[in-house]
Structure 1
């Protein structure tokens, strides 16, 4: 059974409950002062606590989508499934297709009504990185009146570690856009849903690491070229945005500020403004203080020319650790960069908060992308 299986969670809960009941039942028998009774009490307490910890951890993972599989949890590489190649796209190019699926809306099996999610494998010619992505094609993509039209697109990134599936299973990006389209509040936009960790298990913070993973090149060059070469998507930066939560939010701002030739618009949901340095990242900068400063977005605002891009940042007055830095980021923004914000009175660093922000953020994003 998979890590995200509800059966696994149910089994863990049942084991935890059974051990708790067993502890209550056996405790009087283990009240003696003999070494066997002491070991018995320690064993029961340890087993009960571990089972409760496992149940809570599985429930949290199912809710927030931190890890997609056991291999993902333990940092093991997972081999992709059987790949089928299909010809499509305006240039007849080939993209590795891993499958398609419907979205959970009314008439979800009809692409011209609900849209469609394609799972693809993106291969980076320059970065030498390969990573899966989920591409949401809005209903208009399949309608006759749009048959010859190109669409704007936005990369949508999770936090770290995160799973790409959480973007449509938990945060409901496609479903939210579908609702906005029905209400006439948003222009149809292709969503390329991914995790920022394209070289797992390392947290690369979407940057080109000296003599290591070239994640920045993957997102700003390889991904855009591969996707727009297959789907009817505009190739200029005005047609491309990037949006993300937490680590994905930092990546969205940084990729856009550093590469306005690739992305014109960014949305950061509870993102920070510089990369952390911890066990998951390692040394991202190769010992270069200058490279570290250039990836500090508050430093960039103070010391480098402002790019002509659109930025949206979000935070909460209570519950978010990035609130003060978000206000500082807004205050430091210089023309020609255009800045907008969503500031909630309260909201934690979690899916519930981001679901409150996503409808307005998607509408804002759609208003700024053109083809």
Structure 2
């Protein structure tokens, strides 16, 4: 039975009801010696406690999309098939333009919580060696004849840790919120892409490439990106691509955008951080070299020192002590053409999906000022 969804939730609730009814029905009817009666009653109480905890966990998990599968929860599954050394550019000596198209079959999303119109595919990354699901939502204008010659901007959505690829679509209701705003012309249409980021059991990859372990950076910035361009009318220039993340995903979004200005124009950070060691399960945070190299402030300092500040726009929001100071540090380092817009959130309700859900409209209004649609070349052929 799936960890998420209605069947497991209803099963948990049913067991909880049974667990609470049993003591009332059987407490005084248990026969046998006192020790046996006491043990039976203790087991009934433990059963009630376990089922109550299970129901609470299922409700929290379904509301926040923390774990997708039993493997994710139990730390028994890996989505890494290979992790060779891909070098500083994350390409392993390959040229993306020379790679053949990776056409995929898409199906409706397997969880109704993500809302209508969301489709998914199982992608095997040719460069990264990562295999995982990718969710895609197309804006209402995508099939409008008036837009048939347009290639759409794309926003990659990254969850926190632990976190599910469905979290933005499910907990944050991003597509549900954006569809009417796009239909009314209040927000520019974009393709939303939510790839799996939970790749290794019990570890946050920090969205880095770590030879022998995982190539999470290349999975997100090369394989997923190319697959979307190959299958949809999606722009292939940096001005058409952005990342948005919350918590650990916010750190990833900022790091990846600053590291790859040739692939992304902008990034949104909601309650993020700069030092990867602030996430105790981060592989980057546990590696002294990677801890420095994957810190967005270090990336920005290094680019400035070389006289090549990235053409990257960052939008950083957070409360005091929860992302705001991280944004101020980046803004202080920003040199043209890097821009950092920092917004402080006061009394927003903590480090929760409810807080980030409220920010969705303003985030995508800002992204609309940064991203550009591209004309469709007559010779180009894309999928659905």
Q: Do they superpose with TM above 0.5?
A: yes
SS in 1 for 2:346: strand
* TM-aligned CA deviation for residue 26 of structure 1: 5.8
Gaps of 5+ in 1: 80-90, 110-115
1:131-170 matched pairs, under 5 angstroms: 131-170=132-171
Gaps of at least 5 residues in structure 2 are 80-98, 375-384
Does structure 2 retain, via aligned residues, the 8 Å contact 1:186–1:367?
no
Give the match for residue 56 of structure 2: 56
For 1:2, what is the secondary structure of its paired residue?
A: coil
SS in 2 for 1:62: helix
Q: What's the CA shift for 1:218?
A: 1.9
Matches within 5 A, 1:22-33: 22-23=22-23
Once the two structures are superposed, residues 70-124 of structure 1 have per-residue CA deviations (whole angstroms, 9 ceiling, x without a partner) of: 3432234499xxxxxxxxxxx99452213146999xxx98xxxxxx433123332
**332-341 vs 20-29, which moves further:** 20-29
Distance 1:57 1:36, change over 3 A: same
Q: 1:321/1:94 Cα in 2 relative to 1: closer, same or farther (>3 Å)?
A: closer
The answer for the alignment partner of 1:112 in structure 2 is none
Q: What residue is the counterpart of 1:316 in the other structure?
A: 319
| Structure 1 residue 356 displacement after superposition | 0.6
Mapped pair 1:349 → 2:348? no
Cα–Cα, structure 1 residues 29 and 279, in superposed 2: closer, same or farther, change >3 Å? Answer: farther
CA contact (8 A) 1:138 1:178 kept: yes
Q: Is the 8 A contact 2:316 2:323 kept in 1?
A: no
Give the match for residue 18 of structure 1.
18
Q: Structure 1 residue 162: deviation in Å?
A: 1.8
CA apart distance, 1:25: 6.2
Cα-Cα RMSD: 3.2
Deviation at 1:186, TM superposition (A): 1.7
| 1:93–1:334 distance in 2 versus 1, CA, 3 Å | closer
Q: CA deviation at 1:359?
A: 0.7
Q: 1:61 to 1:334 in 2, by over 3 A?
A: same
Q: Does 1:362 align with 2:374?
A: no
Corresponding residue SS for 2:123: strand
DSSP 3-state at the match of 1:196: coil
CA–CA distance in structure 2, aligned partners of residues 327 and 274 of structure 1: 14
Cα 1:92/1:254, change in 2 over 3 Å = closer
Count of aligned pairs? 346
Distance 1:331 1:41, change over 3 A: farther
For 1:245 and 1:181, the matched residues in 2 are separated by: 22
The structure with higher relative contact order (CA 8 Å, sep 6+) is 2
Partner of 1:87: none
1:315-334 correspondence to structure 2 within 5 Å: 315-317=318-320, 321-334=322-335
The whole-number CA distance in structure 2 between the counterparts of 1:222 and 1:268 is 22
Q: Does the CA-based 8 Å contact 1:95-1:121 persist in structure 2? A: no
More off after superposition, 349-358 vs 168-177:
168-177
Deviation at 1:261, TM superposition (A): 1.0
Displacement after TM superposition at 1:364 (Å) = 0.6
Q: What pairs up with 1:221-260 in 2 under 5 angstroms? A: 221-260=222-261
Per the normalisation by structure 2, the TM-score is 0.79
Equivalent position of 1:84 in the other structure: none
TM-score (norm 1): 0.81
Please give the secondary structure, in 2, of the residue aligned with 1:95: coil
Asked if 1 retains the 8 angstrom alpha-carbon contact of 2:229 and 2:235, the reply is yes
Secondary structure at the counterpart of residue 276 of structure 1: helix
User: 2:87 — aligned with what?
Assistant: none
Are the counterparts in 2 of residues 129 and 199 from structure 1 also a CA contact under 8 Å?
Answer: no
